Amino acid sequence: AQSVTQLGSHVSVSEGALVLLRCNYSSSVPPYLFWYVQYPNQGLQLLLKYTSAATLVKGINGFEAEFKKSETSFHLTKPSAHMSDAAEYFCAVIELQGAQKLVFGQGTRLTINP
Amino acid sequence: DTGVSQNPRHKITKRGQNVTFRCDPISEHNRLYWYRQTLGQGPEFLTYFQNEAQLEKSRLLSDRFSAERPKGSFSTLEIQRTEQGDSAMYLCASSSYGGAPSAGANVLTFGAGSRLTVL
Protein backbone atom coordinates (compact mmCIF):
# COMPACT_ATOMS: atom_id res chain seq x y z
CA ALA A 1 0.00 0.00 0.00
CA GLN A 2 1.10 3.51 -0.71
CA SER A 3 1.75 6.01 2.10
CA VAL A 4 3.41 9.36 2.72
CA THR A 5 5.20 10.83 5.72
CA GLN A 6 5.57 14.53 6.29
CA LEU A 7 8.58 15.52 8.34
CA GLY A 8 7.79 18.33 10.73
CA SER A 9 4.29 19.12 11.89
CA HIS A 10 5.13 22.81 12.13
CA VAL A 11 7.50 24.95 10.05
CA SER A 12 8.12 28.62 10.68
CA VAL A 13 9.96 30.93 8.26
CA SER A 14 10.43 34.64 7.85
CA GLU A 15 8.68 36.55 5.10
CA GLY A 16 10.90 36.44 2.00
CA ALA A 17 12.76 33.31 3.12
CA LEU A 18 12.84 29.94 1.42
CA VAL A 19 9.99 27.57 2.22
CA LEU A 20 10.82 23.84 2.35
CA LEU A 21 8.17 21.31 3.39
CA ARG A 22 9.28 17.69 3.41
CA CYS A 23 7.40 14.65 2.20
CA ASN A 24 8.65 11.09 1.78
CA TYR A 25 6.62 8.37 0.15
CA SER A 26 6.44 4.62 0.36
CA SER A 27 5.28 2.75 -2.70
CA SER A 28 6.18 -0.46 -4.44
CA VAL A 29 5.21 1.02 -7.79
CA PRO A 30 5.78 4.45 -9.33
CA PRO A 31 3.61 6.77 -7.27
CA TYR A 32 1.33 9.64 -8.20
CA LEU A 33 1.91 12.39 -5.65
CA PHE A 34 0.04 15.54 -4.74
CA TRP A 35 0.39 18.60 -2.54
CA TYR A 36 -2.75 20.26 -1.19
CA VAL A 37 -3.08 23.44 0.88
CA GLN A 38 -5.77 24.13 3.48
CA TYR A 39 -6.48 27.65 4.71
CA PRO A 40 -8.37 28.07 8.01
CA ASN A 41 -11.98 26.93 7.83
CA GLN A 42 -11.65 25.97 4.19
CA GLY A 43 -11.36 22.77 2.20
CA LEU A 44 -8.26 21.48 0.49
CA GLN A 45 -6.95 23.16 -2.65
CA LEU A 46 -4.66 21.40 -5.10
CA LEU A 47 -1.22 23.02 -5.31
CA LEU A 48 0.46 20.60 -7.73
CA LYS A 49 0.72 16.96 -8.74
CA TYR A 50 3.35 14.54 -10.02
CA THR A 51 2.17 12.00 -12.59
CA SER A 52 5.48 10.54 -13.85
CA ALA A 53 6.17 13.19 -16.46
CA ALA A 54 8.68 15.91 -15.50
CA THR A 55 10.30 15.37 -12.10
CA LEU A 56 10.15 19.08 -11.29
CA VAL A 57 6.54 20.12 -11.00
CA LYS A 58 5.39 23.72 -10.85
CA GLY A 59 2.18 24.60 -9.07
CA ILE A 60 0.11 27.57 -8.13
CA ASN A 61 1.22 30.50 -5.97
CA GLY A 62 4.90 30.04 -6.87
CA PHE A 63 5.25 26.60 -5.30
CA GLU A 64 7.10 23.72 -6.89
CA ALA A 65 8.08 20.20 -5.93
CA GLU A 66 10.74 17.81 -7.13
CA PHE A 67 10.23 14.05 -7.36
CA LYS A 68 13.40 12.19 -6.34
CA LYS A 69 13.09 8.45 -6.71
CA SER A 70 16.48 7.75 -5.14
CA GLU A 71 15.40 9.57 -1.98
CA THR A 72 11.69 8.59 -2.17
CA SER A 73 10.94 12.25 -1.64
CA PHE A 74 8.58 14.89 -3.01
CA HIS A 75 9.49 18.04 -1.08
CA LEU A 76 7.58 21.28 -1.62
CA THR A 77 9.49 24.54 -2.02
CA LYS A 78 8.91 28.22 -2.62
CA PRO A 79 11.83 30.62 -3.05
CA SER A 80 10.32 33.53 -1.15
CA ALA A 81 7.60 33.17 1.47
CA HIS A 82 4.66 35.54 1.59
CA MET A 83 2.40 36.19 4.54
CA SER A 84 -0.50 34.72 2.55
CA ASP A 85 1.28 31.34 2.41
CA ALA A 86 0.45 30.67 6.06
CA ALA A 87 -1.69 27.53 5.99
CA GLU A 88 -1.68 23.77 6.49
CA TYR A 89 -0.01 21.76 3.73
CA PHE A 90 -0.72 18.12 2.98
CA CYS A 91 1.25 15.69 0.88
CA ALA A 92 -0.76 12.80 -0.57
CA VAL A 93 -0.32 9.70 -2.70
CA ILE A 94 -3.02 8.11 -4.78
CA GLU A 95 -3.82 4.43 -4.44
CA LEU A 96 -3.68 2.77 -7.81
CA GLN A 97 -6.37 0.18 -7.16
CA GLY A 98 -10.01 0.29 -6.18
CA ALA A 99 -11.24 3.73 -5.24
CA GLN A 100 -8.01 5.37 -6.35
CA LYS A 101 -8.36 7.48 -3.26
CA LEU A 102 -5.87 9.94 -1.87
CA VAL A 103 -3.87 8.86 1.17
CA PHE A 104 -2.70 11.93 3.09
CA GLY A 105 0.20 12.69 5.35
CA GLN A 106 -0.43 14.24 8.74
CA GLY A 107 0.15 17.76 7.47
CA THR A 108 2.61 20.59 8.09
CA ARG A 109 1.47 23.90 9.46
CA LEU A 110 3.42 26.76 7.88
CA THR A 111 3.77 29.98 9.84
CA ILE A 112 5.24 33.11 8.24
CA ASN A 113 6.96 35.63 10.51
CA PRO A 114 6.95 39.28 9.45
CA ASP B 1 -20.35 25.60 -11.55
CA THR B 2 -19.45 26.73 -8.04
CA GLY B 3 -17.45 23.69 -7.02
CA VAL B 4 -18.22 21.17 -4.30
CA SER B 5 -20.79 22.42 -1.80
CA GLN B 6 -21.24 21.06 1.72
CA ASN B 7 -23.99 21.77 4.22
CA PRO B 8 -24.21 22.58 7.01
CA ARG B 9 -20.78 24.13 7.51
CA HIS B 10 -21.02 23.75 11.27
CA LYS B 11 -23.12 21.47 13.43
CA ILE B 12 -23.17 21.31 17.22
CA THR B 13 -25.10 18.44 18.70
CA LYS B 14 -25.51 16.56 21.93
CA ARG B 15 -24.19 13.06 22.36
CA GLY B 16 -26.68 10.49 21.20
CA GLN B 17 -28.36 12.65 18.57
CA ASN B 18 -28.34 11.89 14.85
CA VAL B 19 -26.78 14.26 12.32
CA THR B 20 -26.79 14.37 8.53
CA PHE B 21 -24.41 16.15 6.20
CA ARG B 22 -25.02 16.86 2.55
CA CYS B 23 -22.54 17.13 -0.29
CA ASP B 24 -23.29 18.51 -3.75
CA PRO B 25 -20.41 17.60 -6.06
CA ILE B 26 -19.40 19.28 -9.29
CA SER B 27 -22.24 18.38 -11.61
CA GLU B 28 -20.36 16.36 -14.21
CA HIS B 29 -18.29 14.42 -11.66
CA ASN B 30 -19.15 10.74 -11.34
CA ARG B 31 -16.95 9.97 -8.34
CA LEU B 32 -17.62 11.18 -4.80
CA TYR B 33 -15.50 10.67 -1.69
CA TRP B 34 -16.05 11.31 2.01
CA TYR B 35 -13.12 11.97 4.34
CA ARG B 36 -12.85 12.75 8.05
CA GLN B 37 -10.26 15.14 9.44
CA THR B 38 -9.54 15.51 13.14
CA LEU B 39 -7.53 18.34 14.64
CA GLY B 40 -3.89 18.23 13.66
CA GLN B 41 -4.28 15.25 11.36
CA GLY B 42 -4.55 14.68 7.65
CA PRO B 43 -7.87 13.67 6.11
CA GLU B 44 -8.77 9.99 6.43
CA PHE B 45 -10.81 8.17 3.81
CA LEU B 46 -14.29 7.05 4.82
CA THR B 47 -16.13 5.95 1.69
CA TYR B 48 -16.39 6.30 -2.08
CA PHE B 49 -19.16 6.32 -4.67
CA GLN B 50 -18.99 5.86 -8.39
CA ASN B 51 -22.27 7.27 -9.64
CA GLU B 52 -24.86 5.89 -7.19
CA ALA B 53 -22.88 2.79 -6.21
CA GLN B 54 -20.98 2.78 -2.92
CA LEU B 55 -17.90 0.81 -3.91
CA GLU B 56 -15.59 1.07 -0.93
CA LYS B 57 -15.92 1.72 2.80
CA SER B 58 -13.16 2.25 5.32
CA ARG B 59 -13.01 0.35 8.59
CA LEU B 60 -13.35 3.80 10.17
CA LEU B 61 -16.97 3.79 9.01
CA SER B 62 -18.69 2.12 11.94
CA ASP B 63 -22.25 0.81 11.87
CA ARG B 64 -23.45 4.19 13.11
CA PHE B 65 -22.34 5.81 9.88
CA SER B 66 -24.23 5.54 6.62
CA ALA B 67 -23.72 7.27 3.31
CA GLU B 68 -25.94 7.43 0.27
CA ARG B 69 -25.88 8.88 -3.19
CA PRO B 70 -29.34 7.95 -4.44
CA LYS B 71 -29.32 9.44 -7.90
CA GLY B 72 -25.64 9.67 -8.51
CA SER B 73 -25.66 13.39 -7.79
CA PHE B 74 -25.67 14.72 -4.21
CA SER B 75 -24.65 12.54 -1.30
CA THR B 76 -25.56 12.41 2.39
CA LEU B 77 -23.53 11.17 5.33
CA GLU B 78 -25.56 10.30 8.42
CA ILE B 79 -24.14 9.62 11.84
CA GLN B 80 -26.50 7.96 14.31
CA ARG B 81 -26.17 8.12 18.09
CA THR B 82 -23.27 10.53 17.90
CA GLU B 83 -20.34 10.18 20.28
CA GLN B 84 -17.78 12.77 21.33
CA GLY B 85 -15.18 10.93 19.28
CA ASP B 86 -17.17 11.76 16.15
CA SER B 87 -16.21 15.43 16.51
CA ALA B 88 -14.27 16.23 13.35
CA MET B 89 -14.37 17.98 10.00
CA TYR B 90 -16.17 15.89 7.39
CA LEU B 91 -14.86 16.60 3.90
CA CYS B 92 -16.44 15.70 0.60
CA ALA B 93 -14.57 15.53 -2.68
CA SER B 94 -15.52 14.71 -6.24
CA SER B 95 -13.74 13.82 -9.46
CA SER B 96 -14.56 12.90 -13.01
CA TYR B 97 -11.88 10.33 -13.69
CA GLY B 98 -13.09 7.15 -15.31
CA GLY B 99 -10.15 5.56 -17.02
CA ALA B 100 -7.61 2.85 -16.35
CA PRO B 101 -5.35 2.97 -13.30
CA SER B 102 -3.02 5.69 -14.56
CA ALA B 103 -4.61 7.35 -11.63
CA GLY B 104 -2.65 10.55 -11.67
CA ALA B 105 -5.53 12.00 -13.62
CA ASN B 106 -7.93 11.35 -10.73
CA VAL B 107 -7.79 14.86 -9.30
CA LEU B 108 -10.10 15.34 -6.34
CA THR B 109 -11.83 18.68 -5.78
CA PHE B 110 -12.75 19.23 -2.14
CA GLY B 111 -15.57 21.10 -0.53
CA ALA B 112 -15.10 23.43 2.44
CA GLY B 113 -16.17 20.72 4.87
CA SER B 114 -18.77 20.28 7.59
CA ARG B 115 -17.46 20.66 11.12
CA LEU B 116 -19.19 18.51 13.73
CA THR B 117 -18.93 19.19 17.45
CA VAL B 118 -20.51 16.61 19.77
CA LEU B 119 -21.05 17.84 23.32
Q: In chain A, which residue's Cα lies nearest the Cα of B112?
A: A43
Q: Tell me which residue of B27, B29, B20 sits closest to B48, measured CA to CA.
A: B29
Collapse the DSSP code of B62 into the 3-class scheme (helix H, G, I; strand E, B; otherwise coil) and give the result. coil
Condensed to tens digits (0 to 9), the pLDDT of residues B61-106 reads 899 999 999 988 999 999 999 999 999 999 999 998 765 555 556 8
- Residue A52 with chain B: CB contacts under 8 Å: 104
Question: Is the backbone peptide bond immediately before B8 cis, with ω within 30 degrees of 0?
Answer: yes
B18 pLDDT band, cuts 50/70/90, is: very high
Condensed to tens digits (0 to 9), the pLDDT of residues A65-107 reads 999 999 999 999 999 999 999 999 999 998 877 778 899 999 9
Collapse the DSSP code of B105 into the 3-class scheme (helix H, G, I; strand E, B; otherwise coil) and give the result. helix
**Region A37-62 average pLDDT:** 90
A113 pLDDT band, cuts 50/70/90, is: very high
| Strands laid side by side in the A19-26 sheet | A3-7, A19-26, A73-78, A64-68, A56-58
- A3 pLDDT more than 80: yes
**Beta bridge pairs of residue A44:** A38
Stretch 92-111 of chain B: residues touching chain A, C-beta under 8 Å: 93, 97, 101-111
Choice between A27 and A114, residue whose per-residue pLDDT is larger = A114
Q: Which of B33, B93, B104 sits opposite A32 (nearest CB)?
A: B104
**Region A51-71 average pLDDT:** 91
Q: In chain B, which residue's Cα lies nearest the Cα of A41?
A: B112
